[in-house]
Amino acid sequence: MENDKKAMAISFINDIRTMEPSILNALIVREAGEELAQFFLSYSANLISRDPERVLENTSSLMLMGYLIRASEEKKRAEQIPAQA
């Protein structure tokens, strides 16, 4: 299971890295929205400016935060679907 998560993450990161900027921007706007994108930009700028020496750790924390938010959203969606009898 952990290897599946890692493989999916690597695949997604590779897709994002090779994506045309306009397509990536459209994906961000569609999936997150401008407000959330601006929130994360501000949050990460604040986090990194407070302690520039820890930029690698902070970047990793931001990526994990995004993953945990997604996992939480999926869990809430699953809880809203009535159980099949």
Domain range summary for the chain, segments of one domain joined by +: 1-31, 34-80
Q: Residue 5 — pLDDT band, cuts 50, 70, 90?
A: confident
> Taking residues 20-42, what's their average pLDDT?
92
Q: What would the pLDDT profile of 36-83 be if each residue is shown by its tens digit?
A: 999 988 998 998 899 889 988 988 888 898 889 988 998 998 999 876
Helix (H) and strand (E) counts in the chain: 4, 0
Q: Residue 21 — pLDDT band, cuts 50, 70, 90?
A: very high
Residue 85 has pLDDT above 80, yes or no: no
Residue 10 has pLDDT above 80, yes or no: yes
Q: Hunting for tokens 């994108």 — which residue is that?
A: 37
DSSP-derived 3-state class of residue 18: helix
The per-residue pLDDT for 16 is: 93
